[in-house]
Structure 1
Amino acid sequence: MFEFAWPAALLLLPLPWLLRWLLPAAERPARALQVAFLPRLRRLDSKQQVLVHTPRSAAPLILIWLLLVMACARPQLLGAPLPPLSSGRDMMLAIDLSASMDTRDLQLDGAASDRLSVVKHWLSELIGQRGGDRLGLILFGDKAYVQSPLTYDLDSVSTWLNETFIGLAGRDTAIGDAIGLAIKRLNAQPANSRVLLLVTDGANTAGTMSPIQAARIASDAHIRIFTVGVGAEGGGQSDLLSILEGDSDPANDLDEATLQEIAKLTGGDYFRVSDSAALQQMIERIEQLEPSQRADRASREAKPLYPWPLALALLLSTLWSSRPVRRRMHA
């Protein structure tokens, strides 16, 4: 597709005619010198006047001006759309799928709901606001697994999140391993900003790496970790299976001190989420601390064409200005 990159330059087209109309005519000094070949000089002067003022002789000048203005407007041919530049952040989401996430102590749309369903709901809202960023999804329980690598396809990340369920990765909580896996995924990416959002409702009860040790490694890798503690202050209804297996009260399992220390070591922040209002405040706070890099509008490969009219104008100017030389050579 053909277009002008600077179409406003075309407004310069009438400039010579405006200057000719607005500026006074140049005054010529009276001729008083009498020479023997004066008639010949008058004939030459007469020819020059004709060349300047007749439309036919002025056509090359008009064409040169049109070519110069066209080159200034930068004509170009647009090719196929180019892929967007990766100017956003790389953010991994680490979601706890342990048994305690089935505790029904939070509200969703005015009804009691389990913690995982509420987390899915507000994380889907957060994912929708991260246009231009690459997101990845880590699920952890007894071990940590990568459910989605870093991708610009935020709809797929949201779909994979909504398909998760309690116990998919085991019933315990390997917070340290989840952080370690996120470090491995983020550290391999040449991004300007690496972020981990860690969501859990318990304490580290599984895995081979301690959360504090993993946080120190993340700090050395320039990865900021935002930790989110989920659960109501006063406890709630845990499932019957957890009670029969002798699990402790889910309301008291949250290790806030460790989550706060992880955030402090990596330059992030800790959030305690116990209701929908706190969830909304957390989303707004994350947007303030780590604003997403919005994707630029689609661009196309542009092939510049301005050298052609510029070169043609230069050629015509050279030919037009060399006319007196050619006449003298033929005289």
Structure 2
Amino acid sequence: MLRFAHINFLWGLLAIPVFVLFFMQVSIWKKKAIKRLGDRAVVLRMMPDVSFSRPWLKFILFAVAYAMVIIGAADPQLGSKIEEVKRKGADLMILLDVSNSMLAQDLAPNRLDNAKRAISQLIDNLEGDRIGLIVFAGQAYVQLPITTDYSAAKLFLNTVNTNMVPTQGTAIGAAIEMGMKSFDFKNGTGKAMIVITDGENHEDDAVAAAKSAAGQDVSIHVIGVGSVDGAPIPQYQDGKQVGFIMDESNKQVLTKLNEEMCKEIAAAGEGSYVRATNANSGMNIVMDQIGKIQRKEVDSKSFRDYEDRFQIFIGIALVLLLVEFFISNRKSQRLSNLKLFEVKK
């Protein structure tokens, strides 16, 4: 299949008819000029070295060379052969806390952005594994279904913010249950979840949900974000921080990492718990544990990269321009004296 990397450059081919009209006008002007000098046959005998065919040949070479340059600039490409490839992978679901407490700045720049950066680095290192994303606060939503499209995963990740879940809270259990519903248990691949949260679960029994998931061979790993000492929650208006969230007594609300809850969830889910820091997100430690789960070989389709062919057209253009440069507008004396069809007497 042929395609052009820069197809807009092909509009330059529309200049060729303009060149043709201009050249024809010049040719007509030359003929009229000769006619004004006198009888055409007499004038031509007075200019024996002038060639009227060579300018046409030079123009044709120039026009074709120009067309080759334009086509080369558009970068024609060949490829797109579908190939069957094998991949080994597991299903991985990320459960990301997007409650307001994730805006606390005890991790730089804040808990949520720190977690998103760690997930982005994880996606960059994936090979063959499928990944999905669930966001949760007081409720849980599937942000990205399980997929191997890592570009789409990063695109959806970039849109995550604390305003996407209207109900505040931290329903970790609901997120785990939704993750279980998102898995395809018929494909036989290993499955795991990574919960990234500050552990302030106020909505449901996350430990029971994790234990239920482990009973279906889905391990639950937890990355705790935040500090045990707590940090205030910034309040924003029109994208600018205007202070911190206050309680009914007009005191700053402190959000603390509930490390005990995180550990309980990980233990019930037969997974690992890691506390994130500014220096280490803990994602590598968790992925080392997840690397032990079963990975099944499955068929997948991929496309071979397109191969550039602009070099051919640029090469042809250079050759034509070189030939055009060495063709003189005057007749060759050697060729003029060479009379192949003259009958000798």
Fold shared by both chains (TM-score > 0.5): yes
Which of 201, 204, 216 is equivalent to 2:198? 201
Aligned partners of 2:148 and 2:157: how far apart in 1?
15
SS in 1 for 2:227: coil
Matches of residues 206-217 of structure 1 in structure 2 within 5 Å? 206=203, 209-217=204-212
Give the drift of 1:255. Answer: 2.5
Give the drift of 1:222. Answer: 0.4
Which of 168, 191, 196 is equivalent to 2:188? 191
Contact 1:89 1:134 in 2 (8 A): yes
Matches of residues 136-285 of structure 1 in structure 2 within 5 Å? 136-169=132-165, 170-186=167-183, 188-206=185-203, 209-239=204-234, 240=243, 242-244=245-247, 248-251=253-256, 254-275=257-278, 277-279=279-281, 282-285=282-285
Give the drift of 1:152. Answer: 0.4
Give the drift of 1:248. Answer: 4.0
Aligned partners of 2:88 and 2:232: how far apart in 1?
44
Alignment pair present for 1:93 and 2:125: no
- Provide Cα deviations, 1:58-107, integer angstroms capped at 9, x if missing partner: xxxxxxxxxxxxxxxxxxxxx96344445301000000000101111112
Gaps of 5+ in 2: 1-79, 235-242, 303-345
Contact 1:141 1:167 in 2 (8 A): no
TM-score (norm 2): 0.55
- Provide Cα deviations, 1:258-298, integer angstroms capped at 9, x if missing partner: 221221222210011132x231xx22212322239699998
Q: 1:217 to 1:299 in 2, by over 3 A?
A: closer
Aligned partners of 2:283 and 2:226: how far apart in 1?
16
Aligned partners of 1:188 and 1:214: how far apart in 2?
17
Aligned partners of 1:294 and 1:121: how far apart in 2?
28
Contact 1:200 1:229 in 2 (8 A): yes
Letter in 1 for 2:259: E
Q: 1:171 to 1:189 in 2, by over 3 A?
A: farther
Q: 1:80 to 1:274 in 2, by over 3 A?
A: closer
Aligned partners of 2:158 and 2:114: how far apart in 1?
11
Which of 107, 112, 118 is equivalent to 1:116? 112
TM-score (norm 1): 0.57
Give the drift of 1:225. Answer: 0.8
Contact 2:177 2:209 in 1 (8 A): yes
Q: 1:167 to 1:91 in 2, by over 3 A?
A: same
> Percent identity over the alignment?
29
Letter in 2 for 1:176: G
Aligned to 1:132: 128
Contact 1:198 1:227 in 2 (8 A): yes
Q: 1:265 to 1:81 in 2, by over 3 A?
A: same
Give the drift of 1:184. Answer: 1.2
SS in 2 for 1:87: strand
Aligned to 2:105: 104
- Provide Cα deviations, 1:34-61, integer angstroms capped at 9, x if missing partner: xxxxxxxxxxxxxxxxxxxxxxxxxxxx
Aligned partners of 2:188 and 2:161: how far apart in 1?
31
Contact 1:202 1:250 in 2 (8 A): no
Gaps of 5+ in 1: 1-78, 108-112, 301-331
Aligned partners of 1:290 and 1:104: how far apart in 2?
29
Aligned partners of 2:180 and 2:271: how far apart in 1?
15
Letter in 2 for 1:173: T
Letter in 2 for 1:158: K
Letter in 1 for 2:212: I
Q: 1:101 to 1:222 in 2, by over 3 A?
A: same
Contact 2:274 2:285 in 1 (8 A): no
Give the drift of 1:233. Answer: 4.0
Aligned partners of 2:215 and 2:298: how far apart in 1?
31
SS in 1 for 2:280: helix
Contact 2:224 2:259 in 1 (8 A): yes
Q: 1:152 to 1:295 in 2, by over 3 A?
A: farther
Q: 1:86 to 1:210 in 2, by over 3 A?
A: farther
Contact 2:232 2:245 in 1 (8 A): no
